[in-house]
Structure 1
Amino acid sequence: MSKKYWLLCYLIVLFVFLEQINGQSKASNATQEVSNFDRLRAKISTLPDSVKIQTLLVSLNDAKSQADTLAMADVYCFLSTLNKEKQLSYADSLISLTKGKGFPTYPALGYLVKGNVYFEKGNRKKALDFYLNASNSAKENGNESLYRTLKFNIGLLKNASGEREEAQIIFEEYLTFLKKNPEYSKPLNINKVLFALADSYIHSRELDKAKFYTNEGIIETLKVKDSTTYSYLVVTSGIHQYLSKKYIRAIDSLQKGKDLIKQFDKEETRVATCDYYIARSYNDLGDTETSIKFFKSVDRIFKETENVIPELMDTYNYLIKYSKSKQDAEGQIEYINTLLRLDSIKHADQLYLTKNINEKYDTVELIAEKEKLIDQLQEETFLKRDTILLLIIILAIVLALAIYGFRRSYLNKKRFERLLTAQKNRESAETKPTIITELPKKEELDIPKDVIATVLKKLQNFEQSDKFSKKHYTLNSLAKELQTNSAYLSKIINVYKNVNFANYLNNLRIDYAVAQLTENKSLRSYTIKAIAEEVGFKNAQSFSSAFYKKTGIYPSYFIKKISN
C-alpha cells in the first residue's frame, strides 16, 4: 500500500523505539554502548536536523578510521531515525555491521527501524517480518527490555488484526514491566502503553477498563504536557461517551480531539476515527443529514489514504442506505465498489497478520515456553533428589544425635546413682573408727614404716576435717602442717592414694561437694561459681572439670537430679 496504516499506531511504535535506543544496556558491552550513545546524543541534541546529520557523518568517518564497530553502529542508529530518505539504507548498514557480534541492542534496533519504516508506509506484512527478526535478535542477545518493547509492538499488530484479548495481555505485561523497572519507565513511554490499553479495551467493549486507563492516561499526559498522547486519549474518551450513549458529550470530546490531532497528523488517519464516531452520534440523535456529512469525510480519507480501519468499515453501510433512500443509484454503486475494494485489502492484510503472528511469533513463544517448562521440571526433579538426599542426611544426623543424647542421659543417670551409692558408703564408713594396725602391702619405699604409718594417720585425720575446703593447700604447706617433708608426702600419696597431690586434693573436695549438695538443700540454689569457692576451688571451670573427671557427670546435672 502507498500510504500509512494507522499513523497512530506508527507513532506509538516510533516513540517506543526512540525510548529504547536511549537506554539499552547489558554487562560490559552495554556500558560502552550507553557511553557512545550518550556522547553522540549530547553532541547533536541542540543542533538543527540538517547539521545533526552532517555532524553524525563526521563521527561515522572517525569511527571507521578507528575501526570502532560499536561507535559506527551508534551513528547508523541515529542516522536511521533522522534521515528519512536513507532510513532503510542506514538500517541495513547497521544490521550487516553488527549481525552475529552479540551486542545486546544491535542488530535488533536495525530490524526495528526497518519495521517502523514499513509500518509507516502501511506495509504491515513487512513490518511484522522485521519486528519478528528484531524480537529474535533481542532475545538471543539477552536484551530483556528491548525484547519486551518489541513484544509490545507485536501486541499493537495483534490489536490491529482484531486479536484484542491477546494484545491486552501483552500491553498489561509491558506496563507492569515498565513500572517495576524505573530505568525504562519514562513518563512518555508509560503514556503510550496507557493509551494502547484504553484503545484496545474500547474496541473490545470493556468500557469500565477503557474508562480507567483513559482517565489514568489523561492525568499522566497532563502532568508531563504530552499533547500528542493527550489528544489520542481525548478521542478515546469521546468514543467511550458514544458507547455510553452520551452523544452530546461524545461529539464535544471527539471534535476537541480532532482539532488537536490536525495540528500534527497530516494524513488525517485519526481524523477519520473522530468523524466516524461524530457521524454515529448525530445519527443516533436523529440528525441524519449531519451524520452523512461526517460519514462522507471518512469515505474521502479512506479513498485518499487507502488505510483500512476495520472498525470504520460500516461507514459504507450508512452511505449505501442513505443513497438508496435518495434513489441515488450511482452513489450506491460507487460506495459498494469502494467497500468491496477496501474490504479485500483489509481481509488480505488481516489474514496475513493473523497467520504469521500465530506461526512466526506465537508458536516460537510457545516452544520457548515449553523448553522453559522442561528446564524448570528437570531442575525441580534435580532439586527434589537433592532435597530427599538432604533430608536423609538430616534425618541420620538427628537420629544419631537422639541416640547419643539417649545414651548420654542413660550413662549420666547410672553415674549419678553410683555416685549416691558411693556417698552413702562413705557416710557409713565414717561412723566407724579406723585404726591402722598394719600397712597394706605396697611397693617398697625408702621411707621408714613408722613414718609412713604416721603420715597416713595424719592424712586420714586431714580427710575427715574440712580444712581442704577452706584453704588453698600446696604440697609444701600440707607437708609442713603434717610435720613431714614434701618428698615423703608426695611419695606416700602417689603410692597409697594412687593419685598425685593435685588430684588427691581435688578428689577430696569433690567428695565433700557431693556430700554437702546431698545434705544441704540451700547449697543447691548457689551458682556453680559459688559452690566451687565453697568447697575450695578457685573458679567454676576448674570445679566443673574436676567434678566431671571424677564422677563422669557435671555438677549442674547432679544438682538437677538430686533436687528432683
Structure 2
Amino acid sequence: MMKIKLLLLFLIIGSVFFHAQTHNIEKNIPERRTYEELEKEFYGSRIEEGNSKSIADYYLKKAKSEKNIIHIAEGYVMLHFEEDLPNALKYLDSLQYITRNSKENTYPARIYLLKGNLYFRNDNLQSALNNYILGLKYAKEKGNKRQIAMAHISIAYLNNYIGKHAETAKVLRHYAYDADYMNKDEKNSLKLNLADAYIEINKMDSAYALIQEGLQDSKKNKDNYRYHQNLGLLGYYNLHSKNYQKAIDGLLECEKYFFTNNNGSKRNHNYTLLYLGKSYAGLQEKEKAVGFFRKIDSLVLKTNYIYPELREVYTYLIDYYKENDDKEKQLYYVDRFFKVDKVLDTQFRYISRELPRRYDTPELQQEKEDITNELTKRKSLFYIVLSLLLISHLLFINVYFKYKKSEKNYKKIAQDLIQSVNENRVGKNRDQETGKEIQSETLPVENTENSEERTPRTISEDIAQTILKELDIFESKDQFLNKGITLGSLAKKIKTNSKYLSEIINTYKGKNFATYLNDLRIDYAISRLANDKKFRSYKIPFIAEELGYNNEQAFTLAFKKRTGTPLSIYLKEIENMSSN
C-alpha cells in the first residue's frame, strides 16, 4: 500500500522502546531524569512531533560527562535519526568506533541494520540491501535471534518494494504469528505490512481482517498515526477492490492528517496522493486524478523521492495531455518520465523488468519524435471516424426499416383480427334477430372430417359424444377462464378420466390440452378486448388474471403465439379503429 515505512529497527534492537504518551518537554531537562526515562521521552516525542533533538543532545552530553560507553553509543543512535544522510552516517561511524571492542551480542550487527534503515529512508536500496546482508551475517555469528529476525524482515520489506509480495508475506506472517519474542507494537507493524502484501497477492479477505484489527486496536489505544496508516491501507484495499468512492473517502481523511503539521513521512504523502489519483481515475474523473498526480510531481521535484509507481503517474499524465492535445504539457511529462526512469534504472536495476509495456523508454522516445506528425494522422482518423459514423447510420436505418416492416405486418394481423371480431358480432346480432343458432367467434382451428373417422378406436361413440357435449358446455359457459384448470381437474368435472379427455381433445380439437385451453382463452380475449372498452382499460396483469393466467408474461406470450401479433399492437389498433 503505502509501501509502509520499515519498522524502525531502533525500536527492537537492543533495548525495547514503547510508544510514549504525549509529554510537555521542558527546555531545561532535569538532571535527575534517568537514561531510561530519556530514551522513552525521545522515542515517544519523535512519534508525536516533540522536542526529540534536545533530548538526544542532553542524553549524549550526560553520557559523555559520566563516561558511560553504553549510553554514549545510544546517544549516537538517537542523534543519527535527527540528521541528514551524511551527518547521520558520521554518528553511526562514531557508534561503530566506540563499540569496536563491545562484548554485547548486539554489535556490530546493530550498526549495519541501522545503516540499512538509513539508506532505505534515503531511497538508496542497493546500499540498504548490502547493509542488511552484513547485519544478518553478524547477527547469526552472535546468535542474536531478534536481530536475525529484523534483518529478514527488512529484506522482506525490500522484496515488497520491488514487487516480490509473496516472499514478503511468507516472512511477515512467520514473525507476526510464530515469533514469541516480538512485542505487541512490533507485531502490529508486521500485520500492517502483511495486509499490504496480501492485497498485492489478492488475498483480500485476509488483508481486510488484518486492517480491521489494526483500525480497532489503534482506535482503542488512541494511536492516531497507526490508525491513519491502517485507514490508508483500507483505502488501498478499496482501490484494489474497485470500490473507488470508499477508497477516496478514507484517503481524503488520511491526506488531511498526513499533510497537517507534517504528520506523515514522504511515503505517506506520496502514496496517499497516488491512490487518491488512481481512485479518481477509476471513477473516470480524470481532472481530479490529474490534480493529485500533478501534486505528486511537485513533491518529487521538492524532495527528490523516487519510487517505481511514478511511472504510472507520468504515463497517465502523458495520456491525459495527449487526449487534450496539450503538446507542451505532454512533452513536459515525457521529459519528467525520462528523468525519473533514469533514476529508477540506476537505483532499481533489478526491477527494470517491471517497466510498463506501453511506456518503456524506446517507445516513449519514438512517441516524442512523432508528435510533429500527429496532426496529419488526426486528419486520417477524422475520415475513419466519419466512415464509422456513416456505417453506423446506415445500419441504424436498416434496423429501423426492418422494424417498421415488422410493425406494419403486426398491424395488418391486428386489423384483420378486429375486422373478424366485428363481422362475427354483426353476424351474431343478425342471427339473434332471425332466431338462428349463434356460431362460435373463435379462430378456425378444428378439422371438418367425418365424425366417424375421428372417433378414437379405444373410446366408444357414445362416450366420445358425451365428452364432446361436456366440452361444449365448458366452452359456452366460459369455464376455461377459471384459474388452475388442469387436464385432471377438467376430466373429473365432466366425469371421465384424463386419458379419454386427452384423446378426445387431440382427436376432435386437433391439439393437446394446454394448446386447447390457451386458444380458448386467447380467442375469448380477442373478442372481449375488441368489444368491451371497460375491459381493455384495465391494466394487463388484471386482464391476464381475469383470463385465468398466473402472470402477465404468460398471457402476452400466449397471445402473440396464437395471433401472430403482440398484444400491445392489437390494443393500439382497437383504439385507432374505434376513434375513426
TM-score by length of 1: 0.53
Tell me the distance in 2 between the aligned counterparts of 1:237 and 1:123.
Answer: 28
1:267 CA displacement: 5.9
Change in Cα spacing, 1:52 to 1:251, as seen in structure 2 (3 Å) is: closer
Task: Report SS of the residue matched to 1:314.
Answer: helix
Counterpart position of 2:304 = 306
Counterpart position of 1:226 = 223
Q: Which amino acid letter does the alignment assign opposite residue 282 of structure 2?
A: D
Q: 2:37 aligns with which of 30, 42, 45?
A: 42
Tell me the alpha carbon deviations over residues 469-500 of structure 1, each in whole angstroms, 9 at most, x when there is no partner. xxxxxxxxxxxxxxxxxxxxxxxxxxxxxxxx
Alignment of structure 1 residues 7-46 onto 2, 5 Å: 9-10=4-5, 12-14=6-8, 16-23=9-16, 40-42=35-37, 45=40
Alpha carbons 1:161, 1:353 under 8 Å: kept: yes
Deviates more, 1:341-350 or 1:160-169: 341-350
Alpha carbons 2:132, 2:154 under 8 Å: kept: yes
Alpha carbons 1:124, 1:349 under 8 Å: kept: yes
Q: Pick the structure with greater CA Rg.
A: 1
User: Normalized per residue, which structure has more helix?
Assistant: 1
Change in Cα spacing, 1:325 to 1:297, as seen in structure 2 (3 Å) is: same
1:113 CA displacement: 2.5
Deviates more, 1:315-324 or 1:151-160: 315-324
Tell me the distance in 2 between the aligned counterparts of 1:122 and 1:337.
Answer: 22
Alignment of structure 1 residues 46-195 onto 2, 5 Å: 49=52, 51-62=54-65, 64=67, 69-81=69-81, 86-99=87-100, 101-178=102-179, 180-181=180-181, 184-186=182-184, 188-195=185-192
Counterpart position of 1:291 = 289
Q: Structure 2 regions of 5+ residues with no counterpart?
A: 18-32, 43-50, 354-580
Q: 2:329 aligns with which of 328, 331, 342?
A: 331
Tell me the distance in 2 between the aligned counterparts of 1:54 and 1:90.
Answer: 12
Tell me the alpha carbon deviations over residues 415-434 of structure 1, each in whole angstroms, 9 at most, x when there is no partner. xxxxxxxxxxxxxxxxxxxx
Alpha carbons 2:176, 2:190 under 8 Å: kept: yes
Alignment of structure 1 residues 423-438 onto 2, 5 Å: none
Q: 2:254 aligns with which of 257, 260, 263?
A: 257
Matched, 1:244 2:241: yes
Counterpart position of 1:351 = 349
1:161 CA displacement: 1.4
Change in Cα spacing, 1:123 to 1:7, as seen in structure 2 (3 Å) is: farther
1:238 CA displacement: 1.1
Alpha carbons 2:125, 2:348 under 8 Å: kept: no
Tell me the distance in 1 between the aligned counterparts of 2:34 and 2:250.
Answer: 43
Alpha carbons 2:4, 2:268 under 8 Å: kept: no
Tell me the distance in 2 between the aligned counterparts of 1:151 and 1:330.
Answer: 47
Counterpart position of 2:558 = none
Alpha carbons 1:194, 1:213 under 8 Å: kept: yes
Q: Which amino acid letter does the alignment assign opposite residue 151 of structure 1?
A: H
Q: Which amino acid letter does the alignment assign opposite residue 192 of structure 1?
A: S
Counterpart position of 1:197 = 194
Deviates more, 1:328-337 or 1:283-292: 283-292
Tell me the distance in 2 between the aligned counterparts of 1:101 and 1:203.
Answer: 42
Change in Cα spacing, 1:298 to 1:58, as seen in structure 2 (3 Å) is: closer
Deviates more, 1:269-278 or 1:161-170: 269-278
1:193 CA displacement: 0.9
1:156 CA displacement: 0.9
Change in Cα spacing, 1:45 to 1:167, as seen in structure 2 (3 Å) is: closer
Q: 2:275 aligns with which of 259, 277, 300?
A: 277
Task: Report SS of the residue matched to 2:187.
Answer: helix
Tell me the alpha carbon deviations over residues 315-343 of structure 1, each in whole angstroms, 9 at most, x when there is no partner. 22221121112211121111112112212
Tell me the distance in 2 between the aligned counterparts of 1:134 and 1:220.
Answer: 32
Alpha carbons 1:91, 1:114 under 8 Å: kept: yes
Tell me the alpha carbon deviations over residues 52-111 of structure 1, each in whole angstroms, 9 at most, x when there is no partner. 3454334433554xxx65454344444444666853223212222323644211222222
Change in Cα spacing, 1:39 to 1:21, as seen in structure 2 (3 Å) is: farther
Tell me the distance in 1 between the aligned counterparts of 2:301 and 2:83.
Answer: 29
1:274 CA displacement: 2.4
Q: Which amino acid letter does the alignment assign opposite residue 35 of structure 2?
A: L
Tell me the alpha carbon deviations over residues 249-291 of structure 1, each in whole angstroms, 9 at most, x when there is no partner. 1110111122122233466532332233323332332322222
Alpha carbons 1:44, 1:55 under 8 Å: kept: no
Task: Report SS of the residue matched to 1:119.
Answer: helix
Tell me the distance in 1 between the aligned counterparts of 2:278 and 2:88.
Answer: 40
Counterpart position of 2:205 = 208
Tell me the distance in 1 between the aligned counterparts of 2:80 and 2:315.
Answer: 43
Q: Which amino acid letter does the alignment assign opposite residue 300 of structure 1?
A: S
1:148 CA displacement: 0.3
Tell me the distance in 2 between the aligned counterparts of 1:59 and 1:339.
Answer: 50
Task: Report SS of the residue matched to 1:313.
Answer: helix
1:175 CA displacement: 0.7
Change in Cα spacing, 1:217 to 1:56, as seen in structure 2 (3 Å) is: same
Q: Which amino acid letter does the alignment assign opposite residue 137 of structure 1?
A: Y
Tell me the distance in 2 between the aligned counterparts of 1:279 and 1:45.
Answer: 38
Tell me the distance in 2 between the aligned counterparts of 1:108 and 1:79.
Answer: 19
Change in Cα spacing, 1:137 to 1:214, as seen in structure 2 (3 Å) is: same
Alignment of structure 1 residues 519-538 onto 2, 5 Å: none
Tell me the distance in 1 between the aligned counterparts of 2:286 and 2:352.
Answer: 36
Alpha carbons 1:316, 1:336 under 8 Å: kept: yes
Tell me the distance in 1 between the aligned counterparts of 2:158 and 2:352.
Answer: 9
Task: Report SS of the residue matched to 1:99.
Answer: coil
TM-score by length of 2: 0.51
Alpha carbons 1:194, 1:216 under 8 Å: kept: no
Alpha carbons 1:279, 1:294 under 8 Å: kept: yes
Tell me the distance in 1 between the aligned counterparts of 2:312 and 2:223.
Answer: 32
Task: Report SS of the residue matched to 1:200.
Answer: helix
Q: Which amino acid letter does the alignment assign opposite residue 42 of structure 1?
A: E
Counterpart position of 1:516 = none
Counterpart position of 2:460 = none
Change in Cα spacing, 1:39 to 1:207, as seen in structure 2 (3 Å) is: same
Change in Cα spacing, 1:60 to 1:122, as seen in structure 2 (3 Å) is: same
1:39 CA displacement: 5.4
Tell me the distance in 2 between the aligned counterparts of 1:328 and 1:51.
Answer: 51
Q: Which amino acid letter does the alignment assign opposite residue 257 of structure 1?
A: C
Tell me the distance in 2 between the aligned counterparts of 1:107 and 1:208.
Answer: 41
Tell me the distance in 2 between the aligned counterparts of 1:218 and 1:87.
Answer: 34
Tell me the distance in 1 between the aligned counterparts of 2:240 and 2:39.
Answer: 47
Counterpart position of 2:514 = none
Deviates more, 1:100-109 or 1:211-220: 100-109
The count of residues paired between Structure 1 and Structure 2 equals 328
Alpha carbons 1:302, 1:308 under 8 Å: kept: yes
Alpha carbons 1:276, 1:295 under 8 Å: kept: yes
